[in-house]
Amino acid sequence: MRHPLLPPPGLYAITNGPRPDLIPAAAAALRGGAALLQYRDKTADAPRRREEAAALQALCAAHGALFVVNDDIELALACGARAVHLGEDDGDIAAARARLGDAVIGVSCYDDLERARRLAAAGADYLAFGAFFPSPTKPQARRASLDLLRDSAGLGLPRVAIGGIRPDNAAALVAAGADYLAVISDLFEAPDIAAAAAAYARLFSSARKTSA
């Protein structure tokens, strides 16, 4: 069953901090229409991470967007987030479920349909695939093909596409079945973050019109 906290298909903004203007940058992405916002910060600065996560949680609540904490179940708990994203090195779904109850648990499936099947059966709420294109943020990321998106349609869970997404390749991912487009650099390094977010958000309103 689709998790009730998951928004309709749309832009999944992922922060590229640390950056001094993190909160205004995230606010601009939300103003532009991001449906989900993930806090992705690989530093070990626990006090700053706690403070930023709490601010972003409040910001997302004000915009009606889902706030997702990357990697860190305890940080999600501490800031009241109702969603976490876990990759292969970030602990398992059962442990996250035990701590977070019925929160949204999203998982990375990379280029691996079998892993996606296994994690769907283990209780994941969405499945993320990619990198679909060369990623400036994660150049070494495993690469996935558009066929993987088509082939994962039967798994019955919302699917996220990530990795090197830009305006010129985004529509192909939506056409192949992506419910959410997870974007870091093209969004958060844009000169006008709200306008960049709005352009991604529009892809989904036109997809809905086309399929209606």
Ligand X SMILES: Cc1ncc(COP(=O)(O)OP(=O)(O)O)c(N)n1
Residues in binding site for Mg(2+): 71, 90
H-helix segments, the chain: 22-31, 46-63, 73-79, 93-100, 113-121, 146-151, 167-175, 185-188, 193-211
Q: 184 contacts which partner out of ligand X, Mg ion, ligand TZP, none, CB within 5 to 8 A by kind?
A: ligand TZP
Tell me: does residue 16 bind ligand X (CB under 6 A).
no
Structural contact between residues 129 and 162, judged by C-beta atoms closer than 8 angstroms: yes
Tell me: does residue 128 bind ligand X (CB under 6 A).
yes
Structural contact between residues 152 and 184, judged by C-beta atoms closer than 8 angstroms: no
Cβ burial, residue 42 (10 Å; 0-12/13-18/19+): exposed
One of 13, 56, 100, 141 touching ligand TZP (CB under 6 A) = 141
Tell me: does residue 90 bind ligand X (CB under 6 A).
yes
- Which residues sit in the known binding site? 38-42, 70-71, 90, 108, 135-138, 164, 184-185
Q: Which stretch binds ligand X (CB under 6 A): 51-59, 83-91, 94-102, 186-194?
A: 83-91
By annotation, the residues acting in catalysis are 40, 108, 138
